[in-house]
Structure 1
Amino acid sequence: MKKVFTMIMLVGILSTGCKKFLDVKPHGETTQDELFKTQKGFRDVLTGAYIRMKSGNIYGGSLMWGNIEYMAGNWDNTNSANTAIPALIAGKYTDQTVREWNDATYQDLYKVIADVNSILEKIDEKKAVFSDGNYAITKGESLALRAFCHFDALRMFGPVPSSPGIGLVLPYVKTVTKDTHLPISYQEFAKAVLADLDQAETLLKDVDPIRKYSIAQLNPGPLDQAVISDNYLEYRQVRMNYYAVLALKARVYLWLASSDAANKVNAAKYAQMVVDAVNQTGKPTFRLGEESDRAAQDYTMPSEHIMALSVYNLEAIANSLFGNNSGGLQRYDFADQDGFYYLNNLFPVAERTSDIRWKGQMWTYKSFTGLTSYATFKKFIQKPASSASQTLQVPLIRLSEMYLILTECADTKASAEASYLVFCSKKGIPFTAFNNADWMTDRKNKMIREYVRELYGEGQSFFTYKRYNVTTLPASWTSVYYNATPAKYIVPKPDREIN
Structure 2
Amino acid sequence: MKRIYNTLFIVGFISLFMSSCNDWLDVRPSDEIKEEYLFETGNGYRTALNGIYRKLATFDLYGSNLSWGLIDGWGLVYNLDKAPDDGGGRAMKKIATFSFKHSELTPTTDAMWDAAWNIIANCNNLAQQVENEDTLLFYDRTHERDMIFAEAIALRAYMHFDLLRIYAPSLLMNPGERTFIPYVDKYPSYLSDRQTVSYCLQHIIDDLKKAQSILLSVDKSASFSMESRFIQSYNGESRFLGYRGYRMNYYAVTAELARVYLYAQKADEAYAEAKKVIDVVESKKWFAASTSSSGFNKGNMKMMEDIIFSLYSTDLTDWDQKINHLSDNPADEYNEHYLCLGDELVNEFFGSEKSSDWRLIYQLEGKYYDYYYRTLKYNKQKEGTTYSKVNDEMIPMIRMSEVYYIAAEAIYKTDPALAQKYLSSVKKGRGIKNVDYSQVTSEEEFINMIVSDARREFVGEGQTFFMYKRLKKNLLGMEGYSWKEVEAKEENMVLPLPDSESNI
Q: TM-score range by the shorter chain?
A: 0.7 to 0.9
User: Residue in 2 aligned with 1:309?
Assistant: 311
Cα 1:214–1:485 change in 2 (3 A) is closer
Q: 1:174-189, aligned counterparts within 5 Å?
A: 174-177=185-188, 179-189=190-200
Please state how far the C-alpha of 1:290 moved relative to its aligned partner. 3.7
**Per-residue Cα deviation, 1:159-209 (whole angstroms, up to 9, x for no partner):** 122122111121111222262111112111111101111110111111226
CA distance in 2, matches of 1:212, 1:375: 37
**Per-residue Cα deviation, 1:45-76 (whole angstroms, up to 9, x for no partner):** 11110111112111011111111111111221
2:177 to 155, 162, 166: 166
User: Residue in 2 aligned with 1:462?
Assistant: 465
Give the partner amino acid of 1:153: L
Cα 1:84–1:137 change in 2 (3 A) is closer
Native 8 Å contact 1:159 1:489 kept in 2:
yes
Give the partner amino acid of 2:97: A
3-state SS of 1:96 partner: coil
CA distance in 2, matches of 1:440, 1:138: 41
Q: 1:14-413, aligned counterparts within 5 Å?
A: 14-16=11-13, 19=15, 21=17, 23=19, 25=21, 31-75=34-78, 76-78=80-82, 85-128=92-135, 129-130=137-138, 131-132=140-141, 133-162=143-172, 163-177=174-188, 179-208=190-219, 211-212=222-223, 214-219=225-230, 221=232, 230-257=238-265, 263-277=266-280, 283-292=284-293, 293-323=295-325, 325-326=327-328, 327-331=336-340, 333-334=342-343, 341-348=344-351, 350-359=352-361, 361-366=362-367, 373-381=371-379, 383-390=381-388, 391=391, 392-410=393-411, 411-413=414-416
Cα 1:353–1:422 change in 2 (3 A) is same
Give the partner amino acid of 2:163: A
Native 8 Å contact 2:298 2:386 kept in 1:
no
Q: TM (normalized to structure 1)? A: 0.86
User: Residue in 2 aligned with 1:7?
Assistant: 4
> Comparing both structures, which one devotes a greater share of its residues to helix?
2
3-state SS of 1:480 partner: strand
3-state SS of 1:427 partner: coil
Superposition CA RMSD, Å: 3.0
Identity level (%): 24
Unaligned runs of 5+ in 1: 258-262, 335-340
CA distance in 1, matches of 2:53, 2:197: 26
Cα 1:414–1:221 change in 2 (3 A) is closer
3-state SS of 2:383 partner: coil
Give the partner amino acid of 1:389: Y
Cα 1:21–1:228 change in 2 (3 A) is closer
Native 8 Å contact 1:53 1:112 kept in 2:
yes
3-state SS of 2:496 partner: coil
**Per-residue Cα deviation, 1:257-276 (whole angstroms, up to 9, x for no partner):** 1xxxxx11111111111122
CA distance in 2, matches of 1:220, 1:140: 24
CA distance in 2, matches of 1:142, 1:481: 40
3-state SS of 1:169 partner: coil
Native 8 Å contact 2:63 2:316 kept in 1:
no
Please state how far the C-alpha of 1:356 moved relative to its aligned partner. 1.1
Native 8 Å contact 1:215 1:285 kept in 2:
yes
CA distance in 1, matches of 2:194, 2:3: 10
Q: TM (normalized to structure 2)? A: 0.85
Give the partner amino acid of 1:242: Y
CA distance in 1, matches of 2:431, 2:281: 25
